[in-house]
Structure 1
Amino acid sequence: MIKHLISAAFLLGSSSAMATIVEFQTSQGSFQVNLFDQTTPKTVENFMKYVNADRYQDVIFHRLEPGFVLQGGGFFYEGSIPLSAVESFGSVENEPVYSNVRGTIAMAKFDGDPDSATSQWFFNLKDNSANLDVQNGGFTVFGQVIGDGMDIVDKIANLERCGSVPLVDFSQQKCNDQQINPDESNFIAINSVTIIDNSNNTASDLSPVKNTLLKPTTPDTGNGNNNNSSDSSSGSLFSLLMMLGAGLFFRRRR
């Protein structure tokens, strides 16, 4: 699976990066990501804290905006709605070195606060650089999907949604029924994130695109929810989705 680079356009950068490789093992298949631990060290260190503490085990992809982003790292299903929240290690300093092009993973954060990223991240489903490279101080890209891993990401991105939550085997009729909630079989779970290679030269042949749009004088436009556009939610997930959108946390994972 992990044998070819995802896109020639993606590799048109001016500098190489050094990285650790991790594998996302999901209910829809596995894919690998090179983390830029040499050039975005604080962000990668923050991400690896959650990996090493197993806090990403069984988290779900809780937000899908088709043609924009696929987001996770914040919530998991404990047998009932509302979802439980991943316990945070605290915020991390923004490191907007690389561009939010297709196939990259970047940190999610709150509106108007460039240094508010904690556990949540998102995969860029297309080139979002014109927007996300400058918005809210720039969104920190800290890795890229390698090999044919975007096949799995795109597979998830093509699933049906209830509101903004990607689900399997959960019809719009069920979504509109306030008496029916999705269960473990419906959510797209990340079973684990594991280290495949922790050598510091695993990305020596990659050239991630630099963020050249962000300037020191660029005003902060806020809108850290990365919201491109989204359909209105309805049915039994309505309250849940509104709470997720507001960044509210519920039961915290220990």
Structure 2
Amino acid sequence: MRHYLLATIMLISSAVLAKPADDGSQIQEGNYYPRVKLETTMGDIVVELDRRRAPITTNNFLRYVDKRSYEDTVFHRVIPGFVVQGGGYDTDYREKPKFPEIFNESGNGMKNGLYTIAMARQNDPHTANRQFFFNVNDNTSLDPGKDWGYAVFGMVVSGEQVLDAMAEVETEYNIQFNQPNVPVEPIILKKATILPPL
């Protein structure tokens, strides 16, 4: 009886341990540079992510894409010559559900240069979860220095002209959202797709 009980516990333990990860690391496992296509109302953008230098951030982003959680979200913050930010709100400016916050990988050597993608966060350095932004300039002020920076985890490989156009749209202070720099005509991320490995 004792041996049977021990064997049962071991079987249950191994079944629990064998449960596949659901943190994004299981998506195209072994592909260090996964690509994601973002279909927006202004055109398509393809980003290549860097899992080698930003594994936590890349896996986190892939998890949201895999769960189709970025679909029908808005780019809610557009500042010309600075950033285009989105991923956090639906088309009614309601906050979308979030996975836990992640560790800030801003010290990975990647810079907030033109056409890179990085994670948005609060003042606390380790508060990024689902919002991301595109740098539409070389934003060295967002790189780490004396303080934590903003974690870059990839770059645009197609659709730079779409991003340029997005950065120039008319914005306003949105009373409903209670935020400045909101596009007058909403820019919607209609679909995000993980592309097959090259």
**TM-score category of the 2 structures, normalised to the smaller one:** 0.7 to 0.9
Letter of the structure 1 residue corresponding to residue 192 of structure 2: V
- For residues 76-155 of structure 1, the aligned pairs below 5 Å read 76-78=90-92, 83-96=93-106, 97=108, 98-111=110-123, 113-129=124-140, 131-134=141-144, 136-147=147-158, 149-155=159-165
Gap regions ≥5 residues in structure 1 = 1-16, 169-186, 203-254
3-state SS of 2:89 partner: strand
Residue by residue over 1:125-157, the C-alpha shift from the partner in whole angstroms, topping out at 9 and shown as x without a partner, is 10002x00026511100010013x110001111
Contact kept in structure 2, 1:156 and 1:166, CA below 8 Å: no
Contact kept in structure 1, 2:118 and 2:133, CA below 8 Å: yes
Shift of 1:18: 3.8
Shift of 1:36: 0.7
Number of residue pairs aligned between Structure 1 and Structure 2: 158
Q: 1:23 aligns with which of 37, 52, 56?
A: 37
| 2:64 pairs with 1:65 | no
3-state SS of 2:155 partner: strand
Residue in 2 that maps onto 1:196:
195
Residue by residue over 1:82-116, the C-alpha shift from the partner in whole angstroms, topping out at 9 and shown as x without a partner, is x21110001011111110000000001111x1111
**Separation in 2, partners of 1:75, 1:151:** 24
Letter of the structure 2 residue corresponding to residue 29 of structure 1: G
Give the TM-score normalised by the residue count of structure 2: 0.76
Shift of 1:52: 1.1
Residue by residue over 1:23-82, the C-alpha shift from the partner in whole angstroms, topping out at 9 and shown as x without a partner, is 01000100100011122110011111111111100000000111100000110124xxxx
Residue in 2 that maps onto 1:183:
none
Letter of the structure 2 residue corresponding to residue 114 of structure 1: P
3-state SS of 1:77 partner: coil
Give the TM-score normalised by the residue count of structure 1: 0.60
Gap regions ≥5 residues in structure 2 = 1-30, 174-180
**Separation in 1, partners of 2:32, 2:150:** 20
**Separation in 1, partners of 2:184, 2:169:** 7
**Separation in 1, partners of 2:172, 2:67:** 30
Contact kept in structure 2, 1:105 and 1:143, CA below 8 Å: yes
Bigger Cα Rg:
2
Letter of the structure 2 residue corresponding to residue 165 of structure 1: V
**Separation in 1, partners of 2:32, 2:112:** 18
Letter of the structure 1 residue corresponding to residue 191 of structure 2: S
